[in-house]
Amino acid sequence: MSSRELILGRVRRNQPPWRELPSVPGFGRAPGDPLAAFGAALARMGGRMATAPAGESLDAFIRTVCPQARVVCSAVPEVAGTRAIASVAHPAELEDVDVGVVRAVFGVAETGSVWLSEREFVVNALGFLPQHLVVLLDPQAIVANLHDAYRDPGFHVARYSVFMTGPSATADIEGVLIRGAQGVRTLTVIPVAPAANEAVIQRRTS
Amino acid sequence: MGRVDHAEASSKFIEAKDHADFHDKRLWDLRKKRDVVSEAIPEWEQLRSLASAIKEHTLTHLGDYLEAFEKKATANGMVVHWARDAAEHNQIVLDILESHQATILVKSKSMLTDECEMRPFLENRGIEIVETDLGERIQQLDDEPPSHIVVPAVHKLRGDVAKVFARTIGTDPANSDIPYLAESQRRHTRPYYLKAQAAMTGANFAIAETGSFVVCTNEGNADLGVNLPPLHIASIGIEKLLPKIEHLGVFVRMLSRSALGSPITQITSHFRAPRPGAEMHVVLVDNGRSERLGMEDFWYSLKCIRCGACMNTCPVYRRSGGLSYGSTYSGPIGVIIDPTFNLRKYSSLPFASTLNGSCTSVCPVKINIHEQIYKWRQIIAERHQLPMVKKEAMRAAGKILSSPRLYRAAVEAAAAGIERLPRFMVYNPFNAWGRQREVPAAPASTFRQWYVKNRGGGR
C-alpha cells in the first residue's frame, strides 16, 4: 500500500465524529481615518510612513528617505530609479540593490501590513534582497482588518503573495529587538495614488 | 531509548542562576505582551472559539480536506508527496535534493523537520544545511536542539551566543553586543541564499480550497531562501489543514499575538504555485498524527498552531528550560504530545506541571491542555510508569489523607519536625519540595488546634 493510501485510510478510520464548520463574521469596524490607523500600526511594527512634499518627484523624495542609496531598483512606473526591474534576468542580480521600490495592491489598517504578489514584485526577491524597501500605497486602498484583507480575489490567483509589515526583524537573542534581521533593514510606505487611479479603485470595490 | 528525567535535567538548568532567572523573566515578558495585544481586541474570545471550532471541523473531515489540498496543489503545479513517518520524510527530501544535484540547502525554521531529525540524516549524506533563522542557527552551530518552538535559543544569554559565533563563524569572542551578533549572522548567511540550490520551509497553515500554504516569519530568511534558488521544499504536518482562505483571518490575527505579542509577523507568505522555471514540492507528513486523531482524549492536541503561548505562561517550563523535556516539543504542549510518540520515554513529562490551567486559558485554539496532562498522569499510573519515589510518596500520602486521625497526627508531627529535624532530614532527595526553596517555618499551632481553642467544641 502506498503511504498516501495508508495515511488517508488511517485518517478516515480515526476521524472523530463530525463537527460543524462555523461561519466567520467580518468583525468590521472601519477606522475613521484608515490612513492614520495604518500609519500608527506600521510604526508599531518598525516601519515608517513618509509623504512626499508637493512638487517633489518621487525619485528625488526616495533619495531623501534613503540618502546613502546608490542602486535604486524600481518596479513601478512612477519611479525611474537607477535600474529597471525589467532588466533583471536572475534574482541574484538584486544583491547590490540599496533600495527596492514596489507598489502594494492594498494595505491593512489593523496591522500596518501591505499586500504584494509576484505581479507587483516582478522579481519576488525585490522585497527581500535589497537593503531597504520603499512601498507606494494608494491611500484609498486600505482595508480595516485581516478578515477583509483575506477577501481579496488575489489570493486565488497569485502564485506568491505576502503581507509585509515593517522591515525584517529578530529578537532571538535575549529578546533585544533588531530591526533589519536578514531581509530589508527599513520599510517606508509612501501614500500616493497611482497615475492611472481608476483600475485600482475599481478592483478594490468590485 | 532511555527515559527522560525531567526533574533531574531541570536541576541542572536551575544551577545556572543567571540563565534561569533571565529565562523566567523573558518568557513572562512574552506572556505579558500577549495579554496587552489580545486584550486590545474585543472579539478575542470569539476568535478563540472560532479557531477551535474551525480546527475541530477540519480534523473531523481531514481525509477529504487532504485530498482536496492535494488535488488543487497539483493542479497549481506543485508536486505533493506523502510520508508516513520521519524516515520516509527524510528519504523523500533527500531524493528530491539528489535529483536536482543540490548540495546546499537554506532552511527556515520548521519544528516538523526537527521532529523528524532530518538535519543529521541529510548531513550524513553530503548535504550542507544552513539554518537561516537566527535562533535556530545559534542552536545548529552549538549542536543543540531548539529549546523553544518560537524562540529556539531563548535559554542562551548574549555571552553564550558570542562564544558560539566566535567558534563557528569567526566573530570577535570579546564582543557580545547583540546588534553586532545579529549583523554578523546576517552577513554570514546572506551569501548562502545566492549559492544554495534549494530552499526549505515548514508551513503554519495549508489551505484545501486553493492548494496553497502559509509561512509566518519575521527575519526575511524564509522569503530570501525560497525566492532565490529554483527549488522549494515544504514539509507540512497533515494537521495544518484549514478549509478556506477566509479562515486565515482568524488564525493569522491570533498567531503572532499569542506567540510574541505582535499583531502579525513581519512577513506572512502565501505559496500557491511555483514561479515560472522553479519547482515547489510539498511533503505531507503523518508521523503519528493519524494515530493521535483516533485517541479519544488526546486528538484535540492536533489543533495546535505552535504559537508557544502555553510555554511562555507555564511556571514549570519557565523554570526548567525547554531542553529538560528531551523532545522537540517542550512545555505544556510537549507534555501532551510527546507521550503519543513514546509513552515510556516521556512518562515523566506529565508530572512537569502544576495543573494550574494557565496553558489552557492562553491557548488560541482552546486545547484543554491541563485536562490532558491529568489524563496522561492517570494512564501512566495505571501502566506502572510512575517513578518509585513518586509512587511511594503518593501511596503514603493516600493512606494519611484518607484517615482523619492519621492526618492530624502527621500534621502535628510535621510541624514539630520542621522545627527540630536536622536540615538533612528535610532537604533530602526524597522531598522534592525541599529543593530550590526553604520550607516555611511551621506555625505555633495547627489549624485544628487553633480552631478547637478559639471556636470551642470540636471533636
User: Structural domain boundaries of chain B?
Assistant: 1-40+300-386, 43-287, 393-455
Predicted structure pTM score:
0.90
Q: What percent of chain B lies above the pLDDT cut of 70?
A: 92
DSSP secondary structure string for all residues of B168-204: HT---TT---HHHHHHHHHHHHHHHHHH-SEEEE--S
Q: What percent of chain B has pLDDT over 90?
A: 82
Position with higher pLDDT, B89 vs B428: B89
Q: Is residue A115 a contact partner of residue A162, using CB atoms and an 8 Å limit? A: yes
Question: Cβ-count burial of A5 within 10 angstroms (0-12 exposed, 13-18 middle, 19+ buried)?
Answer: exposed
CB contact under 8 A, B82 and A3: yes
Task: Describe the crossing of helices B248-259 and B44-60 by its angle, rounded to 10 degrees.
Answer: 120
Interface test with B, best of A85, A128, A165, A182 (most B CBs within 10 A): A182
Q: From CA B197, how far away is CA B228, in angstroms rounded?
A: 9
Q: In the prediction, which pLDDT does A206 show?
A: 39
Residues of B in contact with A146 (CB under 8 A): 248-249, 252-253, 264
The rounded distance, in Å, linking the Cα atoms of B328 and B237 is 14
The per-residue pLDDT for B411 is 73
- For residues B351 and B6, is the Cβ–Cβ distance under 8 A? yes
CB contact under 8 A, B153 and A19: no
Residue A205's pLDDT band, with cuts at 50, 70 and 90, is very low
Of A7, A15, A128, Cβ closest to residue B223: A128
Question: Hey, how many other C-beta atoms are within 10 angstroms of the C-beta on B383?
Answer: 11
Q: Band of the pLDDT at B415, cuts 50, 70, 90?
A: low
Domains belonging to chain A, first-starting first, are 31-205 (3.40.50.10420)
The C-alpha atoms of residue A94 and residue A83 are separated, in whole angstroms, by 10
Q: Given CATH 3.40.50.10420, say whether it is the number of domain B43-287.
A: yes
| Stretch 180-219 of chain B: residues touching chain A, C-beta under 8 Å | 181-183, 185-186, 189-190, 193-194, 210, 212, 218-219
CA dist list (Å): B148 to A3, B214, B323, B401: 31, 21, 8, 38
Distance CA B130, CA B193 (A): 9
Q: Which residues of A are less than 8 Å from B223 in CB distance?
A: 124, 127-128, 162, 183
pLDDT recorded at residue A15? 97
Q: Searching chain A, which residue's CA lies closest to the CA of residue B225? A: A125
- Residue B420: pLDDT over 70: no
Contact B153 A172 (CB under 8 A): yes
Average pLDDT over residues B228-236: 98
B156, B273, B293 ranked by CB distance to A14: nearest: B293
CA distance B433 to chain A (A): 30
What is the 8-class DSSP label of residue A132? E
Q: Residue B268: which of A162, A170, A175 has the nearest Cβ?
A: A162
The angle that helices B331-341 and B369-382 make with each other, rounded to 10 degrees, is 40
E-state strands within chain A? 48-49, 72-74, 83-84, 99-103, 106-108, 113-117, 132-137, 142-143, 160-164, 169-170, 178-179, 186-191
Residues A24 and B447: their CA atoms lie apart, in Å, by 54
CA distances from B329 to B220, B316, B368 (A): 24, 14, 17
Please give the pLDDT value at position A28.
76
pLDDT above 70 covers a percentage of chain A that reads 95
A187: helix, strand or coil? strand
Give contacts of B300 with chain A, Cβ < 8 Å: none
Q: If you average pLDDT over residues A170-186, what whole number do you get? A: 97
> Chain A within 8 Å of B273 (Cβ-Cβ)?
yes
Find the angle CA(B56)-CA(B60)-CA(B63) to the nearest 5 degrees. 130
| Contacts with B58 from chain A: Cβ below 8 Å | 21
In this predicted structure, the answer to whether residue B235 has a pLDDT above a threshold of 50 is yes
Inter-chain contacts counted by CB atoms under 8 A, chains A and B: 246
How confident is the model over B20-67, as pLDDT tens digits? 999 999 999 999 999 999 999 999 999 999 999 999 999 999 999 999
- Nearest residue on chain B to A11, alpha-carbon basis: B290
Q: What confidence category does residue A198 fall into, taking pLDDT thresholds of 50, 70 and 90?
A: very low
Model pLDDT for residues A89-105, shown as the tens digit of each residue? 999 999 999 999 999 99
Average pLDDT over residues A174-197: 93
Residue B217 pairs in a beta bridge with B267
For the purposes of burial, counting CB atoms within 10 Å of the CB of B430, is it exposed (0-12), middle (13-18) or buried (19 or more)?
Answer: exposed
The Cα of B111 is separated from the nearest Cα of chain A by a number of Å equal to 16
Chain A: give the shortest CA distance to residue B4, in Å. Answer: 27
Spatial strand order in the sheet of A83-84: A48-49, A186-191, A132-137, A99-103, A72-74, A83-84
pLDDT band per the 50, 70, 90 thresholds, residue A202: very low
Lowest-pLDDT range, A193-197, B106-110, B113-117, B124-128?
A193-197
Contact between chains at A172 and B56 (C-beta distance less than 8 A)? no
B269 touches chain A (CB under 8 A): yes
The whole-number pLDDT of residue A196 equals: 66
Q: Is the pLDDT of residue B404 over 60?
A: yes
Give the minimum alpha-carbon distance from A197 to chain B in angstroms, rounded to a whole number: 27
Q: In terms of pLDDT, which residue wins out, B349 or B448?
A: B349
| Distance in Å from the first CA to the final CA of chain B | 54
Mean local confidence (pLDDT), B318-331: 96
B151 touches chain A (CB under 8 A): yes
Partnered with residue B270 across adjacent β-strands are A161, B214
Whether pLDDT at A200 is above 50: no
Phi-psi region of B449 (alpha: psi -120 to 50; beta: other; left: phi over 0): alpha
Q: Average pLDDT in the B117-142 region?
A: 98
Interchain CB distance below 8 Å, A20 and B57: yes
Q: CA of A16 to nearest chain B CA: how many angstroms apart?
A: 5
Average pLDDT, chain B: 93
pLDDT per position as a tens digit, A47-93: 999 999 999 999 999 999 999 999 999 999 999 999 999 999 999 99
Would you call A183 and B262 a contact, using CB atoms and an 8 Å cutoff? no
Out of B60, B88, B266, whose CB is closest to A19?
B60
Averaged pLDDT score across all residues of chain A? 94
B1 has a pLDDT exceeding 90: no
Residues of B in contact with A6 (CB under 8 A): 84
Question: Under 8 Å CB-to-CB from B156, ≥6 apart: which residues?
Answer: A173, B19, B138, B142, B164
Q: Which residues on chain B are in Cβ contact (under 8 Å) with A13?
A: 294
Q: Does the pLDDT at position A197 exceed 60? A: no
CATH class of the domain at B1-40+300-386: mainly alpha
**Residue B370 pLDDT exceeds 60:** yes
